[in-house]
Structures are given as C-alpha cells and as structure tokens.
Amino acid sequence: MCLAIPAKVVKIDSGKILAEVKGQKIKASTELLKPKLGDYVLVYGGFVMDIVDKKQAKKILEEA
Amino acid sequence: MLKTTVVFDSEETKRLFLRYAIPCSMVLIRRGKVSEKTIDELKSKLMKNEKIRDDLEKIFTIAVRMLIILAKKSGKEKIDVQILHEYFWFKHVEAIEQRNTVFKDIPVQRCIVWPGVVVTDDGMVRTPIGIKKYQKDFLPDAKQGDHVVVHYGYMVEKITKKQYDKLISYYEDGNALKKFKCLVG
C-alpha cells in the first residue's frame, strides 16, 4: 500500500499501460482499472491499482 | 471497479491482515489517505476482539486489491490465510524491490516481513537482519524459542519451524538477504 508507485500514464496499449515517473517508465496491467492518457495512477505488483488526482500523486511523490 | 464488501473468508483472516497492515499504516495517515482516528479504532477493535469493519479496501486499498487479484489467480472467491501469506511473505518483497529501484525512500529492512526466532520473553527477536526488540501487542504470549514473523517493528504471527525454514531459504535463494542487508533500515 505505501509501496505503490505514483506515475503518469504516457501510453495505452490493449490491456496495459506505460507510465512515467522520475524519468523512468513502468509497465502495468489494466485488468483492474482503465486509466486515460495523462491520468495519474498508482502502480503496484504490475497492476494499475488506483487512479488518483494530480494533487494526491504529488503528495506521494514529495515524500519520496 | 471491484465489488468488495466482504472479501475475506473469515473474521480471523481479516484480523490477521490487520496485524500485518496496521504497523506501517502511519504512512497512509501522513499521506492524508486515512485519519489517525480510523487506524486507532481499528487497532482497538483488533486488540479487544471486537468485530472489524468489512470495507477495509477503503483504507488499505492497494493491499486489499492485490490480495483480491492473488485470490482470483488461485481460483478462490475470497482471501484466506494462504493468500495472505503468499502476499506478505513473497509478493510484498517484489513490490519493495520495485519501489526501491524508483524512489529509494522506504525503510526497506522495516518493510520486509522477516522470519525470526524469539530470544527473550520481553520481545527480542533474531531475524536475518540481527537481534532487535519488537512490539508484542499482537502476540502477547510469544515466548523464547517461538518462530514468528515480524513487520515494521511488530511481531505479527507465530509460524511453524517448517514455515520458518521455507521463508529463510526464500530470502537466501532470492539473494534478497544480501541485497537488503546492506541498506539502511
């Protein structure tokens, strides 16, 4: 839970997305949730686990 | 979205989940995801053996969703103790590794669920990262010689010698010991 990675969706493929954070790209499955391009998501264990607003994502990022 | 009102197979499994999840919930409080009062209430109910709310997904969103996914993959409708172990003993370590490669912001040694042996009745436990004192709130009757798992400063659960050996060999085989031992915890 506290280990999830906040990242911005930069590419959408069928069934998965590519999200970016701190210049790194992370792949994740959209089996659970289907975010849109530009959405902020929480990635965990290879899945998009939550879609959050920019403010929330920033808050998690600032801690990092 | 998932329909997740009752996702645990029993009240006992739910309580065991909380013993793993509550120790690091201060991170969720800090992020404004949940209030300190909510966590205090949960802990109090856990300690007093009162019924736990069913909507834990609202509080521990990511962990509960991961457990649901693991249960589904095993063909189970609900989260049972075996799924809890699969998550907190194994899958959780992978998540720590991934988070650590991107951010390096987490106290890795505290985050990992370690197997250990109780060395004194007042809470000293020997784990692969050394002998440290752990809170006995969840295992008040833990005694010298017991095999336990610890998480974020707390003793969480008693385990069998067989489970202990399995966990120890997992860390050794996966090279995780070497990888995480040297990090500041």
Rounded-to-integer distance, Cα A32 and Cα B34, Å? 22
How many interface pairs between A and B have CB atoms less than 8 angstroms apart? 68
Q: Which of B31, B61, B91 sits opposite A59 (nearest CB)?
A: B31
Which residue, of B74, B102, B130, is where some domain finishes?
B102
Q: Which of B54, B87, B102 is the last residue of a domain?
A: B102
Domain that holds residue B38: 11-102
From CA B132, how far away is CA B111, in angstroms rounded?
Answer: 15
A49 → closest Cβ in B31, B61, B105: B61
pLDDT band (50, 70, 90) for residue B177 = low
- Whether residues B79 and B138 fall in one domain: no
Asked if residue B174 belongs to a domain, the reply is: yes
- What's the confidence (pLDDT) of residue B184? 35
State residue B179 phi and psi, 5-degree precision: -65, -45
Residues B93 and B128 in one domain: no
Whether residues B135 and B81 fall in one domain: no
Residues of B in contact with A24 (CB under 8 A): 102
Mean pLDDT of chain B: 89
B185 within some domain: no
Rounded to two decimals, the ipTM of the complex is: 0.83
E strand residue ranges, chain B: 114-118, 124-127, 130-133, 147-151, 154-158
pLDDT digits 0-9 by tens, A40-58: 999 998 999 999 998 888 8
**CB contact residues (below 8 A), chain B span 10-29, against chain A:** 21, 24, 27-28
What spatial distance separates the first Cα and last Cα of chain B, rounded to whole Å? 36
Q: What is the pLDDT of residues B131-145, one digit of tens each?
A: 999 999 999 999 999
**Judgement on whether residues B36 and B117 belong to the same structural domain of the protein:** no
Which whole number is the average pLDDT over B115-127?
96
pLDDT tens by residue, B47-89: 999 999 999 999 999 999 999 999 999 999 999 999 999 999 9
Q: How far apart are the first and last CA of chain A?
A: 14
A19 to chain B, minimum CA–CA distance in Å? Answer: 12
* Residues of B in Cβ contact (< 8 Å) with A21: 102
Q: Which of B50, B76, B102 is the last residue of a domain?
A: B102
User: Radius of gyration over alpha carbons of chain A, in Å?
Assistant: 10
Task: Assess whether B95 and B48 both reside in one domain.
Answer: yes
Total of domains in chain B: 2
Q: What share of chain A is helix, strand, coil (3-state, %, to 5)?
A: 15, 50, 35
Q: Are residues B90 and B26 in the same domain?
A: yes
Residue in chain A lying closest to B107 (CA): A3
Whether residues B91 and B122 fall in one domain: no
The CATH number for B157's domain is 2.30.30.140
In tens, the pLDDT along B13-60 reads 999 999 999 998 988 898 888 999 999 999 999 999 999 999 999 999
How near does any CA of chain B get to the CA of A13, in Å?
Answer: 19
Edge-to-edge strand ranges of the sheet holding B114-118: B130-133, B124-127, B114-118, B147-151, B154-158
Same domain, B31 and B97: yes
Residue B185 pLDDT:
34
Q: Which two tokens stand for residue B105?
A: 């912001």
Residue B19 counted as domain residue: yes
Q: Which two tokens stand for residue B123?
A: 């809470």
Task: Answer yes or no: do A4 and B24 touch at CB < 8 A.
Answer: no
Q: Is B184 contained in some domain?
A: no
Domain shared by B20 and B47, yes or no: yes
Confidence of residue B114 (pLDDT cuts 50, 70, 90): very high
Same domain, B164 and B148: yes
Q: How close, in Å, is residue B112 to chain A by CA atoms?
A: 11
pTM of the predicted structure, to 2 decimals: 0.89
The minimum CA-CA distance between A37 and chain B, rounded to whole Å, is 18
